[in-house]
Structure 1
Amino acid sequence: MRVFFDAILHPHRSLGRGGFRVLMAVVVAMNIIIAGIFVANGAWPVVPFCGLDVLALWLAFRVSYRSARQYERVRLTDSALTVQRIHWKVPERRWSFHPYWLRISHDERTQHDRRGPAAGQVMLSSHGQSVGVGSFLSPDERSAFAHALGDALRAWRRPSCPPEPVG
């Protein structure tokens, strides 16, 4: 089985684990300094609230990192194009299309200019079935993905050897 295209799409997270640790250390240190100033001025009831903002920040990053575990895999082989969607909240979903009839639609306008249900994703359609992929990618990444998949689909449709001469 030949593989013409195989891409795994992950949501982008700009802050890695090391950066997160540094950020949290700075936030905790600043909160300790601020809490010390409040205690020194006799406003000790403010101290628990200094811990609440650290907890809220930690929870927000925890949710963000958990959602980063989702991904989409798009694979074009000799016989089918399959889309596999993995999300941490829901069971795996899988779609399969015959590559010959597959249509790729992608609106290359900027995110602020687009309208409609396909805005923000690459739509793969065939025989009344369609699925959007790459909704979490940036507009440039979506465009590059759509062009790469289109190139792979054209390579799949190209005959593997020249036809026999007639006559």
Structure 2
Amino acid sequence: MPYSWSSPQNASEQTLELWPHQSLPPRGMAAFVLATFTLITIPLFGLLGTALLWALLPFLLIAVGGIWFALHRSHQDRSTLETLTIGSDQTVLHRTNPRAKDQHWDSNTYWVTVELHQKDGPVPNYVTLKGNGREVEIGAFLSEEERQQLFAELTSAFSSARAAR
């Protein structure tokens, strides 16, 4: 699961961190780009010493550069981090975005409601938190099953936080 719960020294507070799946680490990305470059250059060995090699080489290098750029951009997009802190009095959601401003939401824990939109959201099993006059999404990058499990865990966490008051 690409999220984890932690409880700091203050037992009345819980913290949840969510992040997108990290299916290709930086080392795997480097290996993939190197393997692609190697496989693309194999057909060029028959063209060594000809002018056609110099005509094709820039296009092949642009293709490898495009693959590297796309993988690098995908890696940056996966640096999104959502941190939800549930205290006995206050709930705070902080989202760190890779290429945009950070987003912040807070509300009184007692009034926060967790909702699961099975078909009405932009993705199936869309989980939102409602409170302080706003409704915010949480874990939209998770899979359907993970969002269902997250909904159950959030419901339980808010119930125990309200009981601790």
Return the alpha-carbon distance in structure 2 between the equivalents of residues 116 and 68 of structure 1. Answer: 22
What fraction of aligned residue pairs are identical, expressed as a percent?
Answer: 21
Q: Does 1:16 align with 2:12?
A: no
> Over residues 124-163 of structure 1, what are the superposed CA-to-partner deviations in whole Å (9 max), with x where a residue is unaligned?
0124311111111111221121111111111112257xxx
Cα–Cα, structure 1 residues 38 and 142, in superposed 2: closer, same or farther, change >3 Å? farther
With normalisation by structure 2, the TM-score equals: 0.82
Q: Give the superposition deviation at 1:8.
A: 1.0
Shift of 1:36: 2.1
Check 1:116–1:139 CA distance in 2 against 1; reply closer, same or farther (3 A cut).
closer
Tell me which residue corresponds to 1:81.
91
Structure 1: give runs of 5+ residues left out of the alignment.
161-167
**In structure 1, what is the equivalent of residue 5 of structure 2?**
none
Greater gyration radius: 1
Q: Please tell me whether residue 129 in structure 1 is matched to residue 134 in structure 2.
A: yes
Corresponding position of 2:100: 90
Runs of 4+ off more than 6 Å: none
Any conservation in 1 of the 2:106–2:132 contact (CA below 8 Å)?
no
Q: Comparing 61-70 with 119-128, which one deviates more in the overlay?
A: 119-128
Which residue number in structure 2 is paired with residue 7 of structure 1? 16
User: For the structure 1 residues 30 and 117, does the alpha-carbon distance in structure 2 shift closer, same or farther, using more than 3 Å as the test?
Assistant: closer
* Structure 2 spans left out of the alignment, 5+ residues: 1-9
Letter in 2 for 1:139: E
Q: Deviations over 1:17-48 (max 9, x none)?
A: 22112211211111221222344776321222
